[in-house]
Amino acid sequence: MKKYNSNMSEFKLKVEKTYFKKVKITQSSDAYNVIKQFYNDDIEIYESFFLLLLNRANNTTGYVKISQGGTIGTVVDVKLIAKYAVDSLSCAVILAHNHPSGNKQPSQNDRNMTKKVKEALKLFEIQVLDHIILTSESYFSFGDEGII
């Protein structure tokens, strides 16, 4: 009889339906309007990072919360972003996080992380269309500012 290693794990892609309707993203305000639904009263309390998943027609197919941090930052793991983008067979993604301070300007860390994610996903032919920074009042789009 063949023995199997009990330390091995099986990984599966699991899809959970939500009440968010699918939306075609044609501009940054479309993405902002979808993403801001993921935040509640906590948008001014702690920083959270989300990934919006898109198909080839730029229709939303899903989203995932990558991390939740403290009042001044959150850890963004590029491997997790790549995993969800690849597992969902996304053709494109939009990165998003909030700044509880209300300052919507990207930090140098935000810029560096965006570049790193963009380069990583390029290996899988997944395009990073934008990176949206939200505050309770407004947003900043890397795409609109020509940074991405």
Domains belonging to the chain, first-starting first, are 28-141 (3.40.140.10)
Q: Do residues 16 and 120 touch, judged by C-beta distance below 8 A? A: no
68 alpha-carbon distance from chain centroid: 12
Predicted local distance difference test score (pLDDT) of residue 86: 97
Q: Do residues 130 and 141 touch, judged by C-beta distance below 8 A? A: yes
pLDDT interval class at 5 (50, 70, 90): low
> What rounded mean pLDDT belongs to the chain?
91
Q: Which of 126, 45, 133 is CA-nearest to residue 82?
A: 126
Predicted local distance difference test score (pLDDT) of residue 41: 86
- pLDDT, mean of residues 84-105: 96
pTM: 0.88
